[in-house]
Chain A
Amino acid sequence: MAVATIAAAITTLAGCGDSSGTEKDQLLVSGASSLTDAFTAYGKDFGAADVKLSFAGSDELAAQIRAGAGPDVYAAANTDLPDQLNADGLAGKPVVFASNRLVLAVPPSSEIRSVADLARPGTKLAIGSPSVPIGSYTRTVLSRLDAPERDAILSKVRSEEPDVAGIIGKLTQGAVDAGFVYATDVEATGGRVKAIRLPARLQPSVAYGAAVITGASHPEEAAQFIDGLVSGQGAVALRKAGFEAPPG
């Protein structure tokens, strides 16, 4: 009997697909951390379903999907991860729905004015770990510098964070002097850090891709959700958070 009770409790907690009793269907959306503000605003306005959001590093969410976690929509901070899921039959054809810029984030009172200033002695830098999109974009930026400057800057790295929140946190706590993040992340801090624009020759193309997950319980609503990101309430929320229109 105890076993049956426990089993029943676990089934309830795990929410085994039983949607009886709720007026609206639940749409599970897994999004890159940088989409938090825009998706939260969009999710509230989305009429077709009750949107349940989960945010984490894009790579981490992709790993969860590979391990069998089944959201309806996956939205990543790059196009590689959705493309790979699509190639492996785990997701539908990805849609590019927004773009972002990489910036150098510093405290408001900082004397750092450009990427070149990072090479100064005593500077401390936090960047994304190579396994997450923000980290690989950062390495793209640095790879476009000449070798001595790149190496000088890399030698200032004190932490490789698994997500943008870690970089911003280290920055606002005064643990580091600068970090590479997305323009939208600086926007979200409400002035606690400021953004230094990167010169065009260093700026990588940061495109966001979303796809409906294969076997989604609500594929129609999922497609609607992605459509709205391209043109609709979702696009409005994305612009408000500082995202730009998809490239091309």
Chain B
Amino acid sequence: MPAAIGGSRWFRAILVVSLALALVFLTLPVLAIFVEASPRQLISSLGEPGATEALWLSLKTSMIAIAIIIVVGTPAAYLLATRRFRGRSAVLTMVELPLVVPPAVAGIGLLAALGPTGLLGPALGDAGVELVLQTAGVVVALTFVSAPFYLRQGVAAFETVERSLLDASRTLGVGEALTFVRVAIPSAREGLLAGLALAWGRALGEFGATLMFAGSYRGVTQTAPLAIYERFGTNFTSALALSALLIGASGALLLSVKLLGGARGFGNAGG
């Protein structure tokens, strides 16, 4: 027995050390930003031309992207989770593909698909839809890179909903649409919210695809990450301050979604 106890002590030590390492490594850069940027700098950076505009644009475009993702993504995820059909896993892989595509590749792909000389570009142009170098283009880029986070999490969340619960609801004469709204969504709520937080965070941080597809113009397409990058070369202090504000905004968002879903939700969000 002593050997076993010694072994488990070892194992416990490894667990604790690993967590400590992960914690230090993942929080150090975030802490450093707040240590280096004094509260006074934070406030004065807000007064800088372009800073509040960039933060506001980031919030606005990411909220529109998230709204689109919820409206289209929730039913799509439900279908993928509750039906078994030929080619389902191929479809799953395809909607998850943007997760592993580098942002620069996403930007090139969006230009090749929706740019003025792209696949659908001329058709969009005829319809009077202009995306490149427009705020709408930022929303397109954000939606593209962040939707898979919600879809993936949504499928996992709907898959954990008891089949019998959905069947019972239908047996009781509730239509499928109402079952989806009244039973499936509330049961999958925690997982859906976790996916929402991930997607929103990704959208707020988006850089490469936005720069390539939508460009960078103050008040129109220059989101907070682009504004931070612009300041990096000339005014590191101001870049730091704006970074701190963005962390604050993203952190507040993550926290409120967590509270909304109940902290428990994040424990099993992975499904």
Contacts and interface: CB of A to CB of B under 8 A. Distances in A.
A62 B235 CA distance: 12
Most chain A beta-carbon neighbours within 10 Å: one of B18, B220, B222, B233: B233
Given A124-B133, A169-B212, A173-B115, A60 B218 contact: no
Given A159-B216, A160-B218, A3 B21 contact: yes
A170 B232 contact: no
How many chain A residues sit at the interface, stated as a range, is 20 to 34
A43 interface: no
A57 interface: yes
Interface in B203-239: 211-212, 215-218, 220-222, 229-234, 236
A60 B239 CA distance: 12
A126 B215 contact: yes
Contact of A159 (B116, B217, B233, B236): B217
A63 B212 CA distance: 23
Interface residues of B, number: 28
A131 interface: yes
A26 B207 CA distance: 32
Contacts of A129: 216, 230
Interface in A118-175: 124, 126, 129-132, 157-162, 166, 169-170, 173-175
A176 interface: yes
Contacts of B221: 159
Nearest to A124: B133
Nearest to A176: B133
Contact of A158 (B14, B17, B212, B217): B217
Contacts of A13: none
Nearest to B211: A166
Given A158-B217, A161-B216, A170 B133 contact: yes
B129 to A, nearest CB: 14
Interface of B: 14, 17-18, 21, 111, 115-118, 121, 132-133, 211-212, 215-218, 220-222, 229-234, 236
